[in-house]
Amino acid sequence: MSRLALAMLCLLLATAVRAAGFDYGLAPQKVADGVYVLTGYMEDFSRENGGNIVNTGFIVGERGVVVIDSGPSRRYGEQLRAAIARVTPLPVVLVINTHHHPDHFLGNQAFPRDTLASLPATREGIQTEGEAFNENMYRLAGDWMRATEVVAPTRALAPGVVEAGGRTLELLALDGHTGADLAVLDRRTGTLFAGDLVFHQRMPTTPHAQIARWKASLDTLERLPFKVLVPGHGPVAQDAAPIAQTRAWLEWLERTLAESAAAGLDMVEVMALPLPEVFARLAVAKAEYRRSVGHLYPAAEQAVLEDAR
């Protein structure tokens, strides 16, 4: 058997075992003193990965643990709690939902309700769109989602400095990926949890995107004194390269949609445009580009019509 065939067989076997046991295989990676990240797959949601395409994390203080995003399902949330318990016996004192997309909050059910927190607009988004998100995740991930219910945060967060579990956190209320995107900077280690404002080596998602505001948020993040950068999706970095990569994609996408609308291309034609190699090699590039055209092109066409009046 060739090495390639053997590697593919091993991957298929690992995927089958993962799916059969509904085991996310969560393995916390220590990225700084007391800071751990669980990195998701560079894939779309599927019945094979159970929706585990997201980066979650936790910060261990002297008195308790702060969780950053709870994952895509009740099972994930429960396995995240178990993973935390393997690292520390301290209780979870705060669970932060960075925004209202399903892979970031559907694990809330596994944690005490009085620990769940987000920006008010994120809580509102979960309350209004959460059930639809949950139903869609059931369609995409199947039985991984069994018994998962929408649980909205009970605590409202505001921008500024907070103390939690013995750690000092700086909370930044931003937007652009959604209407409310919370970034979290651990002051002790300089670890920045950027949520889905930053993607790394994976094509960004855009169902609620406002590109101009997103780019402004990236500018804010880039000015922070971080030493470790945890994107919402993709590998952890020690520099601002993921921010630059995300910004470059948004700029290209914004410019291409505007030029295409001005040239009178229809949506199918825009979806068929070739991606520059620097973006084509990102994970899930073609699928996310097509989805982004579907999300954003009607507004680009409308802008051209309004300019012509």
Q: Over the stretch 134-172, which tens digit does the pLDDT of each residue have?
A: 999 999 999 999 999 999 999 999 999 999 999 999 999
In a domain, 275, yes or no: no
In a domain, 247, yes or no: no
State whether residue 144 is helix, strand or coil.
Answer: helix
Chain mean pLDDT for the chain: 94
In a domain, 97, yes or no: yes
pLDDT surpasses 70 at 89: yes
Q: Which domain holds residue 217?
A: 3-240
In a domain, 267, yes or no: no
CATH of the domain at 225: 3.60.15.10
Identify each DSSP E strand in 52-174 by its residue range.
56-60, 65-68, 92-96, 116-118, 155-156, 160-164, 167-174
In a domain, 285, yes or no: no
pLDDT surpasses 80 at 198: yes
**b/e burial code for range 248-265 (CB count within 10 A of at least 16 → b):** ebbeebbebbeebbeeeb
| CA within 13 Å, CB half, 165 | 22
CA angle 150, 159, 112 (to 5 degrees): 35
Residue 10's pLDDT is 44
Alpha carbon distance 298, 280 (integer Å): 23
User: pLDDT, tens digit, for every residue of 241-266?
Assistant: 999 999 999 999 999 999 999 999 99
> Count of residues for the chain?
309
In a domain, 291, yes or no: no
Greatest alpha-carbon pair distance for the chain in Å reads 66
Instruction: State both tokens at 171.
Output: 């909370």
Domain count, the chain: 1
In a domain, 257, yes or no: no
In a domain, 76, yes or no: yes
Contact 217, 197 (CB under 8 A): yes
CA 214 centroid distance within chain: 14
Residue from 170, 173, 135 nearest 156 by CA: 173
